[in-house]
A and B are shown apart, each in its own frame.
Chain A
């Protein structure tokens, strides 16, 4: 059993009270796709598909390695996707087909818009 599938004791994300180094306070801009992920979360919860509690649950279950290797909104979109599939909004097969269609548009916003 790895640290990411801890079945008793303190879970990896439960960091309150732990020692920590300096907290970075600098601001940064968000890219368009990150803003879209944020909007998607608001829309999906507004429609009642899942709550912020479900978002958090999947983020926690993704484990410490995801926390170290993925950015904030990369983890969010993975969690939003998992919750939307669980809520029956679309199937994995439908998602796969749509991703193939989107990938065919090109790798940049410019290419996608020029279609």
Chain B
């Protein structure tokens, strides 16, 4: 709990091939582990050389993703998100 590294998913909505699901954009979670680096698939998709990027497995509380009224607000959801979509954040307010 104390050493959680919180990250907020950028809320950008650019056109083109994007590998960050829109339902997580703008949401804050904590780093479960860091994977990679892997070549950026958003560049590979256009036949370009993919810049190696860390891929972070981010853990979100269901309440953060779906709102406090969700069925099991303390359950969590993991998503693997490339580092360029993440920025350091404060812990979200407890529900």
Chain A residues near B (Cβ < 8 Å): 6-11, 14, 16-18, 50-51, 53-54, 56-57, 60, 83, 86-87
Starting from the known contacts A10-B22, A14-B23, 4 additional A-B residue pairs (CB-CB under 8 Å) come to A8-B13, A17-B65, A53-B41, A86-B47
Please name all residues of chain B whose beta carbon is closer than 8 Å to the beta carbon of A11 when the two chains form the complex: 15, 18, 22
In angstroms, how far is the closest chain A Cβ from the Cβ of B29? Answer: 14
**Chain B 30-72 against A: per-residue CB contact (8 Å), 1 yes, 0 no?**
0000000000011011110000000000000000010000000
What is the chain A residue whose CB lies nearest that of B23? A17
Complex-state Cα separation, A57 to B17, whole angstroms: 6
The interface size of chain B toward A, counting residues with CB under 8 Å, comes to 16
Total A-B residue pairs with C-beta atoms closer than 8 Å? 46
Q: Which A residues are in CB contact (< 8 Å) with B21?
A: 14, 16-17
Contacts of A14 in B (CB 8 A): 18, 21-23
The smallest beta-carbon distance between B77 and chain A, in angstroms, is: 10
Interface of chain A: mostly helix, strand, loop or mixed:
loop
Whether A8 pairs with B17 at a CB distance below 8 angstroms is no
Q: Indicate if the CB atoms of A57 and B45 lie closer than 8 Å.
A: yes
Q: How far is the CA of A6 from the CA of B22 in the complex (A)?
A: 14
Taken together as a complex, chains A and B put the C-alpha atoms of A7 and B18 apart, in Å, by: 13
**Given A54-B45, A86-B47, A87-B47 in contact, is the A8-B15 Cβ separation under 8 Å?**
yes
Q: Which of A6, A7, A53, A86 has the most CB of B within 10 A?
A: A53
Q: How far is the CB of B84 from chain A (nearest CB, A)?
A: 15
A50 to B48, CA, bound (A): 9
